[in-house]
Amino acid sequence: MRKRETFFVGLMLFSMFFGAGNLIFPPFLGSGAGTSFWPAMIGFIVTGVGLPLLVVSAIALVKNGANELGSRVHPWFGAVFTLLIYLSIGPFFGVPRNANVAFEMGFNPLMAGSTFSQSLLLLGFTALFFFFVFLLSMYPSKVVDLMGKVITPTLLISIVTLFLIGFFRLDKSFEAPNETYQTASFFKGVIDGYATMDALAAMAFGIVILTAIKQKGVTDHKQLRSYTVKAALIAGTALALVYTGIGFMGTQVAGQETFDNGSEVLSTAVTLLLGNNGKILLGFIFTLACFTTCVGLTIACGQYISKLSEKLSYRGVVFLVTLASFLIANLGLNQIIEVTIPFLVMLYPLTIVLVTLPFIDRFFGGSRGVYRGTMAFTGFVSIYNGLEMLGFHVEALSSFMSVLPFASLDLGWVVPAFVGGLLGFLWDQFSHNKVRKENPQIERAS
């Protein structure tokens, strides 16, 4: 595959990643971090860019994607966990959230003063939005050319133009950080990077990229892995640069008013730069970014779920995903976000651990006990933390979770993950030695 084609595949991956959360969270971070901007932004890039790259690379290491990674714990775990990932980034949370953000930032401002109710406007917008998502998702082989060569360059040019105008016109010194970023700003940025959902999305996008590269005539697994990693690096570099740029814009409007979210930060910055007409450019950027992500997620869900059952065709799954996303999107953005965060708290640590283990697999001989122990202990902490956010509370468990190392940084699962892996490894060694003692012929054969 030529370098030019690899570059466009990388741009396609960037456009799939770059959606609602990618636009909202960096400027909000910038407005709050102030003089702590750089450590906070580096932390954000670690999880917002580094983790998705790690996931895509891990997917490239195995032949059957996320399902094979999960199957190293247990086949049923692989199937259920992977399906939960696809449903969460697809019709349940990721796709409806992007559609709502596109409505709030791209369409709703243009309808100011309209006599139609918000719910009716949202219904009309999402109907048209998902019609085009469905239409484009029907032809995944053509998405690389359209998104990589047309949509993504347009998106990048728009964002870079906005950033350059802001860089030269806004030269305000950084404010003092707010309470959130006064201490441990790097780790706060790490947690902020979770909210993009890109590490979860990468579980699906890795397969989409591998499929796109295969369609270019690459069949050798080693070459597939190489091209996938190169495309991921291109996408990651673009993401890091864009995050830094729009995060910087957030620092320039800090202190002007109290912001509830990153869209308000960007809206204020653009109004300062270009007046009310600047909101049209911002709306265009949001709509295009959210649209490309929705297309990528819909294609990923269609490709994965259609393989689970011979009765489900790719086009049938795409129709169901877009229909479900359309219905859930009309519940409203606040309701979707309220449910999203607890599920991210549950799934993210499990995903991080699952994609990290293949890189150190050779050090523990691929022990299934390590996979099981690590995931069990990680899941115990992360699932309880998520349930607690949904209102489930057990005093003794909450007290235990609060004293875990790094719990104050929302990383209380780290040490249990290590302990679980170590116990799983020791159990495997004990079981293996016991079998050899009970069956001496195995010892002689070896």
Mean pLDDT, residues 226-249:
91
Q: pLDDT digit string (tens) for 88-100?
A: 888 988 899 889 8
Tell me if 13 is assigned to some domain. yes
Tell me if 79 is assigned to some domain. yes
Are 389 and 316 in a shared domain? no
Q: Name which residue leads in pLDDT, 417 or 207.
A: 417
Are 143 and 243 in a shared domain? yes
Q: Determine the pLDDT at residue 39.
A: 94
pTM of the model: 0.77
Q: Are 24 and 262 in contact (CB under 8 A)?
A: yes
Are 332 and 390 in a shared domain? no
Q: Determine the pLDDT at residue 328.
A: 93
Are 329 and 388 in a shared domain? no
Give the position of tokens 């109290």: 258
- How many Å apart are CA 346 and CA 378, to the nearest integer? 9
Give the position of tokens 């139609």: 116
Q: Determine the pLDDT at residue 319.
A: 96
Instruction: For Cα atoms 14, 19, 23, give the angle at the middle one, nearest 5 degrees.
Output: 105
Domain end (from 309, 339, 369): 339
- Measured from the Cβ of residue 19, the count of other Cβ atoms closer than 10 Å reads 29
**pLDDT-derived band of residue 443, with 50, 70 and 90 as boundaries?**
very low
Are 333 and 372 in a shared domain? no
pLDDT at 444 over 50: no
Q: Determine the pLDDT at residue 445.
A: 43
Q: What is the mean pLDDT of the chain?
A: 85
Residue 199 CB-density burial (10 A; 0-12 exposed, 13-18 middle, 19+ buried)? buried
Are 397 and 289 in a shared domain? no
Are 307 and 368 in a shared domain? no
- How many Å apart are CA 379 and CA 402, to the nearest integer? 16
Mean pLDDT, residues 298-318:
88
Are 223 and 264 in a shared domain? yes
Q: Determine the pLDDT at residue 442.
A: 42
Tell me if 352 is assigned to some domain. no
Q: Determine the pLDDT at residue 101.
A: 85
Q: Determine the pLDDT at residue 433.
A: 61
Q: pLDDT digit string (tens) for 279-289?
A: 788 888 888 88
**pLDDT-derived band of residue 438, with 50, 70 and 90 as boundaries?**
low
> Token pair for residue 225?
């892995």
Q: Find the CATH number of the domain harbouring 67.
A: 1.20.1740.10
Are 315 and 402 in a shared domain? no
Tell me if 333 is assigned to some domain. yes
- How many Å apart are CA 179 and CA 200, to the nearest integer? 29
Residue 420's alpha-carbon distances to 67, 373, 379, in angstroms, are: 22, 4, 10
Domain end (from 339, 368, 387): 339
Nearest to 48 by CA among 216, 266, 334, 244: 244
- How many Å apart are CA 136 and CA 140, to the nearest integer? 7
Mean pLDDT, residues 249-253:
88
Nearest to 282 by CA among 259, 265, 257, 260: 265
pLDDT at 339 over 60: yes
- How many Å apart are CA 224 and CA 284, to the nearest integer? 34
Q: Name which residue leads in pLDDT, 379 or 345.
A: 379
Tell me if 236 is assigned to some domain. yes
Q: Determine the pLDDT at residue 168.
A: 79
Tell me if 230 is assigned to some domain. yes
Are 335 and 366 in a shared domain? no
Number of domains in the chain: 2
**pLDDT-derived band of residue 428, with 50, 70 and 90 as boundaries?**
confident
pLDDT at 439 over 60: no
- Measured from the Cβ of residue 319, the count of other Cβ atoms closer than 10 Å reads 16
Give me the phi and psi of 123, to 5 degrees please: -60, -45
Torsion of CA 328, 329, 333, 339, to 10 degrees: 20
Q: pLDDT digit string (tens) for 162-214?
A: 878 877 777 778 888 988 898 889 988 988 887 777 887 888 777 778 878 88
Domain range for 406 is 360-446
Tell me if 206 is assigned to some domain. yes
Are 329 and 253 in a shared domain? yes
Q: Tell me, what amino acid is at 92? A: F
Tell me if 16 is assigned to some domain. yes
Are 378 and 320 in a shared domain? no
